[in-house]
Amino acid sequence: MDRDTFLVWLSEMDGLTPEQRAEAARVLEGPSSLESLLEMLEQRVGAERRCPHCETPGAVIRGRSNGLRRYYCRGCGKTFNALTGTPLARLRHKALWTAFAESLRAGETIKQASDRCGVAGTTAFRWRHRFLRAAKTDPSKLRGIVEADETYMLDSRKGDRKLDRKPRKRGGKAAKRGLSREQVPILVAADRSGSTFSTVLDAVTSEALADHLAPVIDKDALLVSDGGTAYPPCAARLGVTHEALNRSAGQRVRGDLHLQTVNSRHERLKALFRRHRGIATRYLDSYLAWYHLVVLPTQPSPRAILACIAGLISPKQPACISNAN
């Protein structure tokens, strides 16, 4: 954290409640302990103690289970805790979660993560995908100049027992040169403030692009793309202004318009994929969540990563992520 950001953070301290000051003091005392992790997770329940089964508020505390308070709902008669109904429910060894969050921040492989935490490789694999599934959040609105472009990854059917094509060695090449059904398109869109959206596409069509961009792009945005034929009708469907850069003719910059921001996002995404060789296509959504959780931020702390995974803060919030252009 640079000094200016630190001074802004300090200026907000006067508005903290006594409970928030006590929690901040515990965090500043040293590395996150199991006790501080459990206290952070308990914040998910909220003051209303709303039941995740029937949405009835006013649940009462009925002891503890696996380190977390157990609540009893007077409406449906069921019990729950802070993680009920989340991908983290029933995961064990909470004392190791902080170490595993550090592993996620470091971008470690399954083998490295299992060695760090002292768990089996199957456990590290399950934790990775449960954590990343929990970290998925609603994307930020893209405003102003919005760059959009797709990148491609070779389709991987690793783990599938039935293939509709001839199998190939992991890390092999597509049977055909250029774009084909063996290439999986990944759409990445970013505005100049650093807000980034990414998703896996079934196909690069105007309908698919519009369906994914409609919830995240502002109506007053200027959509900038390359010369892809799907983008003009996509912009028309969205009702936004569109400008295209003809890169095949050598046009990479026109005034304030360029695709350098989104291209840098592509490179950082591919760097993550290269580190983890042979990512199965069915897990791409989880790796995109990892990309937004750890790769785009400026060194998020393990506590911030766990807070995002627990749903206490969003990766869009400055407390967790400072997007780098």
Q: Is the confidence at residue 66, as pLDDT, over 60?
A: yes
Q: What is the pLDDT of residues 219-253, one digit of tens each?
A: 999 999 998 999 999 999 999 999 999 877 788 89
Q: How far apart are the first and last CA of the chain?
A: 16
Give the list of residues 6+ apart from residue 297 with CB closer than 8 angstroms, or none.
Answer: 315, 320, 321, 322, 323, 324
Q: Is the confidence at residue 198, as pLDDT, over 80?
A: yes
Phi, psi of 149 (to 5 degrees): -160, 155
What is the reported pLDDT for 319? 34
Q: For residues 109 and 129, give the distance between their C-alpha atoms in angstroms, rounded to a whole number.
A: 13
What is the reported pLDDT for 325? 39
What is the reported pLDDT for 312? 79
Closest CA to 37 of 307, 314, 294, 315: 307
Q: Is the confidence at residue 213, as pLDDT, over 70?
A: yes
Q: Hey, which of 47-61, 155-169, 246-260 has the most confident mean pLDDT?
A: 47-61
Whether residue 280 contacts residue 157, with contact meaning beta carbons closer than 8 Å, is answered with yes
Which domains can be identified in the chain, with CATH numbers? 32-85 (no CATH), 91-135+296-325 (no CATH), 145-155+180-275 (3.30.420.10)
Q: Is the confidence at residue 275, as pLDDT, over 90?
A: no
pTM equals 0.78
Q: Is the confidence at residue 34, as pLDDT, over 50?
A: yes
Q: Is the confidence at residue 320, as pLDDT, over 60?
A: no
Q: Which residues on adjacent β-strands are paired with residue 182?
A: none
